[in-house]
Chains A and B, each alone.
Chain A
Amino acid sequence: MALIELRNVSKIYFLGGEEIRALDNVSLDIEAGEFVSIIGPSGSGKSTLMHIVGCLDSPTHGTIRLDGVEIQGASSRELARIRNRKIGFVFQFFNLLPKLNVLQNVELPLIYSGVPAAERRRRAMDALKLVGLENRVRHRPMQISGGQQQRVAIARALVNDPRIIFADEPTGNLDSQTGETILELFRDLSRQGRTIVLVTHDPEIAAMTPRRIEIRDGRVAPQVNPKLAGLDRFPAAQAAGANTPV
């Protein structure tokens, strides 16, 4: 059984009486331990897909199983719980709370899952060590670089030991060199057996992942069109990705 199973998932918005199908009958599986990128131009519905799979949103039709549990009809409270326990998010703009220091930011998910203070601290420190920021714990987000901020965000996504990590354009706001180190961090995490879903419009990043799901006009493309996604420019990356265990 796959970690995530989407069956005929649709998301329909109504804008001024006009029906907009952000997702149209999408079915796909993501196995545990996979490193997947979801690619597509802006407006293709990839963000909507991530939001629905990431339990931030509910589909209009269709079923979603996350870790064997159907979640399409879950209440917002249950969704919050699932996000808290099973899902980690990394965003383009880091989305750290500026008033909290690094450690407090990483501890935040644990606060919402009711972990006692001492253990919260230990686990947050462990997560920060994993991203190599254990000596920056007292800094505020504004006092560290963008790459470090994104690593704090990754530590925060990891701290609850989630089943799956969603990264929405995680390098979109970083220079290419810093972006590369962040991607390297994701590769490391993938090698440790974590399930990671990268959402990106950047073919260079998509090329890095062993599996790519292309979304076009709210549908999963039957197969990834290398030319269209711009992947033909990175044969080496494609080959390297293929060797990564799925």
Chain B
Amino acid sequence: MNLLNAILVGFKEIWAHKFRSLLTMLGIILGVSSLVGMSALVKGMENGMREALVAVGGVERVRIEQADIPAEQAHLADQAPGITMNDVYALKHNATLTRLITPEMRLRNVTITRGGRHATPFIFMGTWPSALEMNEHEIQYGRMFNEIDDESARSVCVIGTEVRDALFGSPEELGYDYNPVGQQVNIQNQVFTIVGMFKYYESEQDRRRRLAEQARLQVAAMTSTNSAGGASRDRGRGGRGRASWVFRVKNNTVYIPLNTMWLRFRTAAGTNNTPDPRLTGLAIKVADVDVLEPAIEQAHKALLRVHNGVEDFSFETQENWAENIASAIRNARMSGGIIAAIALLVGGIGIMNIMLASITERIREIGIRKAIGATGTAIFIQILVESVVIAIIGGLAGLVTSFGLVHVLTSISPTDNAPEITFLSCAVAFSFSVGVGILAGLIPAFKAARLDPIQALRYE
């Protein structure tokens, strides 16, 4: 009895008991689809997290911030200089593994007004033009301020789209994308000229949703003759409120030149009587993720020297974040995987149960087959193949189902991230189901193979 024949017999057996086979397969179908669906959800989560990580500058970006002096150096507190431009130059000269350095001087609770409208950006920061690259910003209109602007402390600013929306009106309000370049705004009652605006940042998921919405509305506009074009564009950006936090913050940013910040807000303005030369912090970007550790070590040494050995600064890497992502993903995958594996196992037990019932039902058939010359091995293979065929069909059906499941999950789940079915998860789920089928078939097949032909023939 060759394998092809055995498979054919298996199919016939399944077809002869359609409903029973379907119920049996259901366990495998659910197991496979939950495994694939779960991993698709986790993958979506991971994609979203990685996207956000890249949006804040990637793993290569390290922030250096002022920190409390360690207890053993408390007596040196008055010598602690804080983070200053000295640090920036020290790093520039000595930290060779660092590719990019940008000083950051932030101001909180800033109000920007124009006409009757006002905006309070999440991030209002004086920095160098390199902040553009450091923080993965892209310019949509105008330009980033440049070294000359910084050198001469010009009152120019680059704003994010949400700031623009607050001051000039969003595309939803206006029906078109307003270009604020050249306009003047008041920042803390000082006049600034907008020289550029960043792109609108959003997660991949939101972008896709927005584009789909737009396309749908365009089709609707084309089919209905008297619909206004403006309305369709206007509703096209409806999904924007759902953008994750990282993207909201990024859109709610205003950058001005560092020197402008220093002159306008730190020396003359506010309640400070003496100018405060300290930076809020600085960001460095290392040449490569692989040298992150040595680069931090290098920067640490360079700073320690400038800071007279007082360790009043700390490094904040995105690596922790990346690690958190990795461990969160690992945990989600692990728990989901265990649940799905249990589902598959239950499916396998279902198969075993049915195969045991099936061989009991067919003891006589097995006896006949043995009497006319089937060896135990041939019977063993036949039963095993039947079980595996059920598992394979169930597995394939499960893969098909998982696509539907993921579709449903996407539409009902609150997550920002589109689940993504990976080939690997499909392959794992499928091979797992086949493995379960083999395992579930072993005991029934063994029992069937060992049946005594005489007993089996007499069985009623």
Given known contacts A80-B376, A95-B364, is B5 in contact with A89 (CB within 8 Å)? Answer: no
**What CA separation (Å) do A120 and B374 show in the bound complex?**
16
**What CA separation (Å) do A111 and B368 show in the bound complex?**
14
Judging by beta carbons under 8 Å apart, are A81 and B376 in contact?
no
Judging by beta carbons under 8 Å apart, are B372 and A109 in contact?
yes
Judging by beta carbons under 8 Å apart, are A84 and B373 in contact?
yes
Judging by beta carbons under 8 Å apart, are A56 and B376 in contact?
no
Q: What distance in Å separates the Cβ of B10 from its nearest Cβ neighbour in chain A?
A: 12
Judging by beta carbons under 8 Å apart, are A76 and B376 in contact?
yes
> Looking at the complex, which one of A51, A80, A91, A96 makes contact with B373 (CB distance below 8 Å)?
A80
Chain B residues positioned under 8 Å from A57 (CB to CB) = 454
Most chain A CB neighbours (cut-off 10 Å) among B2, B373, B374: B373
**What CA separation (Å) do A51 and B452 show in the bound complex?**
12
Question: Chain A 80-119, CB within 8 Å of chain B: the 1/0 string?
Answer: 1101110001010001110100000000110111100000
Say whether A156 faces chain B, with CB atoms less than 8 Å apart. yes
**What CA separation (Å) do A113 and B372 show in the bound complex?**
10
Given known contacts A81-B375, A89-B371, is B1 in contact with A111 (CB within 8 Å)? Answer: yes
Say whether B369 faces chain A, with CB atoms less than 8 Å apart. yes
Say whether A77 faces chain B, with CB atoms less than 8 Å apart. yes
**What CA separation (Å) do A84 and B372 show in the bound complex?**
5
Judging by beta carbons under 8 Å apart, are A111 and B5 in contact?
yes
**What CA separation (Å) do A91 and B376 show in the bound complex?**
21
Q: What distance in Å separates the Cβ of B218 from its nearest Cβ neighbour in chain A?
A: 58
Most chain A CB neighbours (cut-off 10 Å) among B1, B2, B374, B375: B375
Judging by beta carbons under 8 Å apart, are A83 and B377 in contact?
no
Question: Chain B 352-387, CB within 8 Å of chain A: the 1/0 string?
Answer: 000000000000110111111111111000000000
Judging by beta carbons under 8 Å apart, are B371 and A83 in contact?
yes
Given known contacts A83-B373, A85-B373, is B454 in contact with A56 (CB within 8 Å)? Answer: yes
Closest to A99 in B: B16
Judging by beta carbons under 8 Å apart, are B16 and A112 in contact?
no
**What CA separation (Å) do A112 and B366 show in the bound complex?**
13
> Looking at the complex, which one of A76, A77, A83, A99 makes contact with B372 (CB distance below 8 Å)?
A83
Judging by beta carbons under 8 Å apart, are A56 and B453 in contact?
yes
**What CA separation (Å) do A75 and B108 show in the bound complex?**
90
Closest to A166 in B: B371
Judging by beta carbons under 8 Å apart, are A113 and B373 in contact?
yes
**What CA separation (Å) do A95 and B368 show in the bound complex?**
6
Question: Chain B 398-415, CB within 8 Å of chain A: the 1/0 string?
Answer: 000000000000000000
Which residues of chain B in 424-460 are interfacial with respect to chain A, using CB atoms and an 8 Å cutoff? Answer: 453-454, 457
Closest to B377 in A: A77
Judging by beta carbons under 8 Å apart, are B378 and A112 in contact?
yes
Chain A residues positioned under 8 Å from B369 (CB to CB) = 97, 108, 112
Q: What distance in Å separates the Cβ of B334 from its nearest Cβ neighbour in chain A?
A: 45
Judging by beta carbons under 8 Å apart, are A97 and B365 in contact?
yes
Q: What distance in Å separates the Cβ of A245 from its nearest Cβ neighbour in chain B?
A: 29
Q: What distance in Å separates the Cβ of B7 from its nearest Cβ neighbour in chain A?
A: 13
Q: What distance in Å separates the Cβ of A36 from its nearest Cβ neighbour in chain B?
A: 20
Say whether B305 faces chain A, with CB atoms less than 8 Å apart. no
Q: What distance in Å separates the Cβ of A66 from its nearest Cβ neighbour in chain B?
A: 14
Chain A residues positioned under 8 Å from B367 (CB to CB) = 95
Say whether B216 faces chain A, with CB atoms less than 8 Å apart. no
Q: What distance in Å separates the Cβ of A114 from its nearest Cβ neighbour in chain B?
A: 7
Say whether B18 faces chain A, with CB atoms less than 8 Å apart. no
Chain A residues positioned under 8 Å from B5 (CB to CB) = 111
Closest to B5 in A: A111
Say whether B12 faces chain A, with CB atoms less than 8 Å apart. yes
Chain B residues positioned under 8 Å from A91 (CB to CB) = 371, 457
Judging by beta carbons under 8 Å apart, are A112 and B371 in contact?
no
Closest to B458 in A: A47
Which residues of chain A in 41-99 are interfacial with respect to chain B, using CB atoms and an 8 Å cutoff? Answer: 51, 56-57, 76-77, 80-81, 83-85, 89, 91, 95-97, 99
Chain B residues positioned under 8 Å from A95 (CB to CB) = 364, 367-368, 371, 457
Chain A residues positioned under 8 Å from B364 (CB to CB) = 95
**What CA separation (Å) do A87 and B367 show in the bound complex?**
15
**What CA separation (Å) do A95 and B16 show in the bound complex?**
19
**What CA separation (Å) do A16 and B207 show in the bound complex?**
79
Chain A residues positioned under 8 Å from B370 (CB to CB) = 56, 80, 83
Given known contacts A77-B377, A114-B2, is B454 in contact with A156 (CB within 8 Å)? Answer: no
Given known contacts A95-B364, A95-B368, A111-B5, is B457 in contact with A81 (CB within 8 Å)? Answer: no
**What CA separation (Å) do A50 and B150 show in the bound complex?**
108
Chain B residues positioned under 8 Å from A114 (CB to CB) = 1-2
**What CA separation (Å) do A37 and B370 show in the bound complex?**
24
Which residues of chain B in 1-33 are interfacial with respect to chain A, using CB atoms and an 8 Å cutoff? Answer: 1-2, 5, 12-13, 16
The residues of A with any CB-CB pair to B shorter than 8 Å are 51, 56-57, 76-77, 80-81, 83-85, 89, 91, 95-97, 99, 108-109, 111-114, 156, 160
30 A-B contacts (beta carbon < 8 Å) = A51-B454, A56-B370, A56-B371, A76-B375, A76-B376, A77-B377, A80-B370, A80-B373, A80-B376, A81-B373, A83-B370, A83-B371, A84-B373, A85-B373, A89-B372, A95-B364, A95-B367, A95-B368, A96-B368, A97-B368, A109-B372, A109-B373, A111-B5, A112-B369, A112-B372, A112-B373, A112-B374, A112-B375, A114-B1, A160-B373
8 more A-B residue pairs beyond the given contacts A56-B457, A76-B376, A80-B374, with a C-beta to C-beta distance below 8 A: A56-B454, A77-B376, A80-B373, A81-B373, A83-B372, A95-B368, A114-B1, A156-B372
User: Ordered nearest first, which 5 A-B pairs have the shortest CB separation?
Assistant: A84-B373, A80-B375, A112-B373, A109-B372, A95-B368
